[in-house]
Amino acid sequence: MKKVLLFLTITLYLMNPARAQDPHFSQFFASPMTLNPAMTGLFSGDYRVSGNYREQWRSISTPFTTGTAAIDFGILKNVISYTDIWGVGLMAMYDRTGGGALTSTYLSFSTAYHKGLDPEGNHTLAVGVQATYVSKRLDQSKLVFENQIDNNGYNPSIPSGETIANPNISYLDPNIGILYNGLVGESSNIYAGVSLYHITQPTETFMQQNNNRLTSRVTVHGGGSFPVNGTNRIHASALYMKQSTASEFTFGGAYGFDLSGGMEENPTVFYLGSWYRLKDAINPYVGLEIGGFTVGLTYDMNVSSLKPASNYRGGLELSVIYIHRRNDSNKYKTMCPRF
């Protein structure tokens, strides 16, 4: 019963439009276009295809699921300066919560211009913008309201007393971001960025009232990559997000073991590390980079006040990134953010 009531509490929280929060990933570094529009196009290669899948709260009830698929690439490479990058990208995302009570879909177009700050293009400053079409559908048959809970728990025979006036809503949502990326010494990389999502704070309500607005989300993030013991590397990153009264601070890193011995331009690397989401979860991480593919796996170990019901279990998350490279067309070869 404790798990059921806890799940109902979480569902009611997410159904409240005034307190709705964006989907997020523990592997935020592997979902560039949900992190910062200015990340669009910043990689060494011809095009990048990425995907993410997250499943959360299976230990309590029907899991919440989130998935993305994206592609981005550079344009006008023979027209703009050698030190610059102009990236464009498309992303589709879905989010299913509350046992299917709320299903959200997103389709985004992003573009970012990375301006070289030195003659070699080792330091860049980028501005990115993103336009997202959002569609949300509410299935009233799967909703649970407070007055339907009696002494025995959820009782579907009790009328909810609620009227859902707009079970389907949609709107256009603009986002913006800036990003610095730089080479330190001969083989270290650092980056830092800020993004603002929901600039116009669009109206988002399923009820008759039209006064609930989606709060803007501010994201500050950064990280770096540093050589250790020859060709091995340490990758570290941190993220801070704030939306309405909710905030999140995550930090951590991974050690990359070069299994190719530094003999290949595209080495095979095994990653092992962990991130920590403050007062919420520990996120152990394993990853493998091979042949242009990078696959990462995390599992949230819940340490928040929900742990009595979750039994320390949170969310399974998988990320896949593929970067296509051709030696004759790979114009931009400075180090780019990886984690």
The answer as to whether 140 is a domain residue is yes
Section 114-141 average pLDDT: 94
The answer as to whether 223 is a domain residue is yes
Section 51-73 average pLDDT: 86
The answer as to whether 2 is a domain residue is no
The answer as to whether 213 is a domain residue is yes
The answer as to whether 233 is a domain residue is yes
Give the torsion sign (CA, 159, 162, 167, 173): negative
pTM for the whole structure: 0.86
CATH number of residue 235's parent domain: 2.40.160.40
92-106, 114-128, 321-335: segment of lowest average pLDDT:
321-335
pLDDT of residue 3: 40
The answer as to whether 154 is a domain residue is no
pLDDT exceeds cutoff 60 at 19: no
Domain count of the fold of the chain:
1
Enclosing domain of residue 94: 38-144+169-324
Q: What is the pLDDT of residues 173-207, one digit of tens each?
A: 999 999 999 999 888 999 999 999 999 999 888 87
- C-beta atoms surrounding 319 within 10 Å: 24
pLDDT of residue 315: 84
pLDDT exceeds cutoff 70 at 7: no
pLDDT exceeds cutoff 80 at 157: no
**Which of 89, 44, 26 is closest to 239 using CA atoms?**
26
The answer as to whether 292 is a domain residue is yes
pLDDT exceeds cutoff 80 at 214: yes
Host H or E run for residue 309: helix 307-310
pLDDT exceeds cutoff 80 at 145: no
The answer as to whether 157 is a domain residue is no
